[in-house]
Amino acid sequence: MIPGKFEYHVPADVGQAAALLRHYDGEAKILAGGQSLIPMMRFRLAQPEHLIDLSKVPGLSYIEERDGHLAIGALTTESELEHNATIRDRYPILKDATDVIADPLVRNLATVGGNIAHADPANDHPAVLLALRADVVATGVDGHRVIPIDEFFLDTFVTGLEPDEILTEIRIPTAKSGTGSAYLKLERKVGDYAIGAVAVSMVVRDGVIAEAGVAMTNVSPYPVRAVQTEAALVGRPATAATFAAAAETASQECEPSGDNRGPEEYKRAVIRTLAERAFSLAAERAN
């Protein structure tokens, strides 16, 4: 498991990094935590000629609440998220997710930016950020632009980032009162990608679900919001019956395929179980 030849660049700031991307025009790849890219290179599934390592670029690792959102720098590691008090207290869904991403060793290196930039339907953050209706900040030589998360994931391993853009920040709307969220994942063992997982964020007012965001992991070709399931929640009372019916919708809305993690029917059943449990956990947290 030896990668092919590549040239290694260490830019000092985002501007330099974006300039290198533009210069090598499709031949270069950003290296963040390397926990997805390096395995692919070792298996020679990816053979970039140039690697642009962001690890020496300052100012891309932070977790701050400002201007009506929670801003997370792209290079923030999973373990930084995992141990952050704001996340733990106010964004439990993110804590749920980081706790079950890979294993502690990988979490020390893997970045949240890399997790979504990779656009792997098996990764856990895409579903979470879809459920939370996050925005993504892309930075290029010519400046920044904000991409709504719904427009970010275009296909398996394909995002809305231009080839010379770098993902620099993730913005999550500040939780309104009455918000409850949860992420439940089933994996074969710690460090495994999901057999299936369900992310939900809901606002409950007077016992009724006023808003809902739902997305699922590893049961579709690329990460997308589960709009039918959301519709099965919104406007209905936050009761076990609603959750069971919406969970049934989720199990039909997902598009799993059979593999080593189990056949299609099993994955649908897992989604039903996890969705029902995630919905009631989120509703509980909303109180």
Partner 1 sequence: MAIESPKIMGYGTSPKRKEDPRFLHGKGTYVDDIKLPGMLHMDIVRSPYAHAKITNINIEPALETPGVLAVITGKDLDAAGLAWMPTLMSDTQMVLPVEKVVYQSQEVAAVIATDRYTAADGVMAVEVDYEPLPAVVDPFKALEKDSPLVRPDKGKDTNHIWHWEAGDKDATDKVFADADIVVEEDLYIPRIHVASIETCGCVASYDAVNGKLTIWMTTQAPHAIRTVFSLVSGIPEHKIRVISPDIGGGFGGKVPVYPGYVIAVVASLKTGRPVKWIEDRSENLQADSFARDYHITAQLAADKDGRIRGMKVKTLADHGAADAAANPSKFPAGLFSICTGSYDLEAAHVEVDAVYTTKPPGGVAYRCSFRVTEAVHTIERMVDRLAVELDRDPADLRYQNFIPKENFPYKSPTGWEYDSGDYKQALDVALERIGYEDLRKEQAEKRARGELMGIGISTFTEIVGAGPSNTFDILGIKMFDSAEIRIHPTGSAIVRIGVQTQGQGHETTFAQIVAEELGLPVDNITVEHGDTDTAPYGLGTYASRSTPTAGAATAVAARKIREKAKHIAAHLLECNPDDLEWKDYKFSVKGVPDRSKTMQEIAFAAYTNHPQGMEAGLEAVNYYDPPNLTFPFGAYVCVVDIDPGTGVVKIRRFVAIDDCGTVINPMIVEGQIHGGLTMGMAPSLFEEIPYDENGNNMAGTFMDYLLPTSLETPNWETGNTVTPSPHHPFGAKGVGESPTVGAPPAIVNAVVDALSHLGVKHVDIPMTPWKIHKLITDAQATTA
The residues of the shown chain that bind partner 1, judged by CB under 8 A, are: 1-2, 4-5, 44, 103, 186, 188-193, 195, 260-263, 266, 269-270, 272-274, 276-277
Give the closest residue to 63 by CA, choosing from 43, 78, 52: 78
Q: Which does 110 bind (CB under 5 to 8 A by kind): partner 1, ligand FAD, none?
A: ligand FAD
Q: Which stretch binds ligand FAD (CB under 6 A): 108-116, 129-137, 171-179, 250-258?
A: 108-116
**Nearer CB in complex with partner 1: 95/225:** 95
Three-class SS string for 105-161? HHHCCCEHHHHHHCCCCCCCHHHHHHHCCCEEEEEECCEEEEEEHHHCEEECCEECC
Helices (H), 25-61: 37-42
Q: Where are the beta strands (DSSP E) in 206-256?
A: 208-217
Q: Which stretch binds ligand FAD (CB under 6 A): 4-12, 84-92, 119-127, 239-247?
A: 119-127
Q: If binding is defined by CB under 6 A, does position 167 make contact with ligand FAD? A: yes
Structural tokens at position 230: 């959301």
Phi first, then psi: what are they for 103, rounded to 5°?
A: -130, 170
If one counts every other C-beta atom within 10 angstroms of the C-beta of residue 265, the result is: 11
Q: Which does 152 bind (CB under 5 to 8 A by kind): partner 1, ligand FAD, none?
A: none
**Nearer CB in complex with ligand FAD: 233/271:** 271
**Nearer CB in complex with partner 1: 115/179:** 115
| Beta bridge pairs of residue 200 | 182, 214
Q: Which does 18 bind (CB under 5 to 8 A by kind): partner 1, ligand FAD, none?
A: none
**Nearer CB in complex with ligand FAD: 123/179:** 123
Q: If binding is defined by CB under 6 A, does position 95 make contact with ligand FAD? A: no
Phi first, then psi: what are they for 159, rounded to 5°?
A: -120, 175
Residues contributing to the site for ligand FAD (CB under 6 A): 29-37, 39, 74, 101-102, 106, 110-111, 113-115, 117-118, 123-125, 161, 166-167, 191, 193
